[in-house]
Amino acid sequence: MALEKLFSPFSIGYLKLENRIVMPPMATNYATSEGFVSDRQIAYYVERARGGVGYINVEHTGIHEQGKASPKMLMISTDEQAAKIENLVEAVHAAGGKIVVQINHAGRQTFSKVTGAPIVGPSAIPALPGMETPRELTVSEIEDLVNVYTQAADRVKKAGADGVELHMAHGYLICSFLSPFSNKREDQYGGDITGRARFALEVLRSVRQSVGPDFPIICRLSGDEYVEEGLNVKDTRQIAKLLEKEGADALHISACNAASGYLNHPPYYVEEGVFVHLAAAVKSEVDIPVITVGRIRNPVMADQIIQDEKADLVSMGRALIADPHLPKKAKQGQFDEIIPCISCNKCIQTLRMDCVRCSVNPETGNETQFRYSKADRSKKVWVVGAGPGGLKAAEIAALRGHQVKIFERQNKLGGRVRLGANPPKKEVLNEFIEYLVKRVKALGVTIEVGKEFTLDMLDPVRPDVVIVATGASPQLPDWQGIEESGALSVDDVLSDGVDIGDKVLVVGGGGTGAEIADFLSEAGKRVTLVEMLEDIASDLVNHLQHYLKQRLNEKGVTIHTSAQVKELGMGYVMIEDASGTQKLDDFDTIVLALGSERPNDTIYKNLEGKVSELYVIGDARQPREIVDAVYEAEEIAIKL
């Protein structure tokens, strides 16, 4: 598949590109607490440059302490910070890449504990209920901020970057002026769309005058904020024409603001290419290039978007977090070797907790740490268990030249993730498993399925290394009547080998239980869900939780929260909640989805002292998530 449009040359002003894939600006929290570029950050971007992306758009970079969005936001508010960004630019250029720096002021979408001063905005309206109310900027302060943006753009140019992007989207400062949702001013910077766009146009005009006509300026806009009284696509089309007239070289069309809910980072519950129609609407109004974004994971889809003239370039954000070499692989037709983004939003969750990590690529953010080459000596490496951790360990060990053999007791590789991909919209998980399976087969890994691993397999050929990746199993509580209840496990239900009946009780409303309820209700079952916590699916990434709760509500699933199970029986449960004790009964089937699991570590314990090198990874070590299993797998495999 040629993907001729996607890999055709293109230009944004004076910026000449070899293809039309853009890495959009995405926060990483890899910067230092002083806002300086870190070595880790440089390695992260350099790897994407090596992967052949058209150009890298560096994460939003702060122009002033007053507009700092997070404690470890990358900054360019001083010449010293800019000097470090110059190091990043030079490294990306040395790797053959092009680099644009997005500059931003967070406005009202931050906290005074981060900025060290009161937060500001066009009007005294908080970004979200419960957030700090910003101080309304004076006209004099607005004029000063135009200069601050201009100084930052100058620093970007002096750092040697190939262009600058002005962040006018996502509810940050310039966007908050553009939007009637956040701008209630009655002076020259408010009112109709011309007044609300005044600040944006003044910033663009000043930056253009300062950097000159040959330095590309891209403006990022929210095509629709998806909030009442917010920007809509009609507004954005008008703003786009004003920006084009003022000298913008390209428009990068995204969507949303902080109040838009969970559409900001569309997970696997949301259709792919969800914002493409916004870019298409803007493209019909302007003659300058338009960039689109919004859960675009597939290079074939990206090519089709350009063929259909809905956009000129395509941003593939999380897809490039998952696989920095996606462009190069796609160009060479190596589609089976592309690590698929599964839209799980683990990267977003980990960003909020610390810094970006990826469920499917442990090398993301660890580009220096996880460098490996052929081993000095080829070892016999056995991997027991073929879930994502086991498969990843086998892949890396084989890449390093070891003789690898996988033992899997099921008849199919993939472990319980195969079952976990059965609930609605989760089939994307199978893409990652299929990628790993194809990789280990292509690398010549020996595979034995449908056979339980036993100690007598150690003779006569004793391996040098055994990696145990046998996963975990459900752990049942000691509720009265649990053994007599005939309750099924999650695996029983997802295996599709049992008669469920029509009316089903799911006990346990964490992420797994909520997904089982979704799975069963999708099949037309009448489902009741019981959860002891105040909310369901609270262990999931909040984007996934939101859409899953929405689906259960739409399907009429009955939900009991803050409910303690006191007794189970055949077709009934006794629960205690705020209203007292009650009996829920007349169920055809009870499903236990309690989330409590115990490691399957028997094989590991039996192997202790019997092989030279013995390791345990993933849930067999401690029940957690895919991100942990694949990280531990690679961490061990590169040391063998």
pLDDT for 528 beyond 90: yes
Alpha-carbon span 382 to 13, nearest angstrom: 55
Cis-peptide, bond into residue 324, ω within 30° of zero: no
Alpha-carbon span 638 to 590, nearest angstrom: 44
Averaged pLDDT for residues 557-577: 95
pLDDT given at position 459: 82
Q: Can you tell me whether residue 122 is helix, strand or coil? A: coil
Averaged pLDDT for residues 491-504: 90
Inter-CA distances, 623 with 475, 599, 616, Å: 11, 6, 12
pLDDT given at position 308: 98
pLDDT given at position 632: 98
Look up residue 533 and give its DSSP letter.
S
CATH topology of domain 380-474+598-637: Rossmann fold (3.40.50)
Burial of 539: CB neighbours in 10 Å, binned 0-12, 13-18, 19+: middle
pLDDT given at position 60: 98
Averaged pLDDT for residues 391-398: 98
Average pLDDT, the chain: 96
pLDDT given at position 479: 87
Averaged pLDDT for residues 355-363: 97
Domain 380-474+598-637 in the same topology as domain 10-353: no
55 in catalytic set: no
Look up residue 264 and give its DSSP letter.
S
Task: Check 30, 55, 149, 172 and give the catalytic one.
Answer: 172
Q: Which two tokens stand for residue 159?
A: 């750092």
**pLDDT tens for each residue of 246-290:** 999 999 999 999 999 889 999 999 999 999 999 999 999 999 999
pLDDT for 639 beyond 90: yes
Inter-CA distances, 482 with 500, 572, 617, Å: 18, 11, 31
Averaged pLDDT for residues 565-582: 93
| Beta-carbon-side half-sphere exposure of residue 111 (alpha carbons within 13 Å) | 8
Residue 559 has phi, psi (to 5 degrees) of -125, 130
Contacts of 460 (CB under 8 A, 6+ apart): none
**pLDDT tens for each residue of 298-336:** 999 999 999 999 999 999 999 999 999 999 999 999 999
Look up residue 385 and give its DSSP letter.
-
Burial of 56: CB neighbours in 10 Å, binned 0-12, 13-18, 19+: buried
Q: Do 276 and 324 touch, CB atoms closer than 8 A?
A: no
Among 440, 385, 368, CA closest to 615: 385
Q: For domain 10-353, which CATH number applies: 3.40.50.620, 2.60.40.10, 3.10.400.10, 3.20.20.70?
A: 3.20.20.70
pLDDT given at position 480: 86
**pLDDT tens for each residue of 64-108:** 999 999 999 999 999 999 999 999 999 999 999 999 999 999 999
**pLDDT tens for each residue of 131-181:** 999 999 999 999 999 999 999 999 999 999 999 999 999 999 999 999 999
What is the amino acid identity at position 272?
A: E
b (16+ CB within 10 A) / e for 588-607: ebbbbbbbebebbbebbeeb
CATH 3.40.50.2000 correct for 488-595: no
Cα 438 to chain centroid, rounded: 24
Q: What is the dihedral of CA 79, 84, 87, 93, to 10 degrees?
A: -70
Alpha-carbon span 19 to 29, nearest angstrom: 28
Task: Give the pairing type, strands 572-577 and 564-569.
Answer: antiparallel
Alpha-carbon span 29 to 72, nearest angstrom: 5
pLDDT given at position 597: 84
pLDDT for 1 beyond 80: no
Q: Can you tell me whether residue 83 is helix, strand or coil? A: helix
Alpha-carbon span 222 to 208, nearest angstrom: 22
**pLDDT tens for each residue of 412-442:** 999 999 999 999 999 999 999 999 999 999 9
Alpha-carbon span 293 to 254, nearest angstrom: 6
pLDDT for 496 beyond 80: no
- Percent of residues, the chain, with pLDDT higher than 70: 100
pLDDT given at position 263: 92
Token pair 């900054």 in the structure block, residue: 75
Task: Give the pairing type, strands 589-592 and 503-507.
Answer: parallel
Q: Do 173 and 142 touch, CB atoms closer than 8 A?
A: no
Q: Do 552 and 529 touch, CB atoms closer than 8 A?
A: yes
pLDDT for 33 beyond 90: yes
Alpha-carbon span 225 to 235, nearest angstrom: 11
pLDDT given at position 461: 84
Token pair 């990483």 in the structure block, residue: 28
Q: Which two tokens stand for residue 158?
A: 């002096």
Q: Where are the domains of the chain?
A: 10-353, 380-474+598-637, 488-595
pLDDT given at position 481: 85
| Other Cβ atoms within 10 Å of 244 Cβ, number | 18
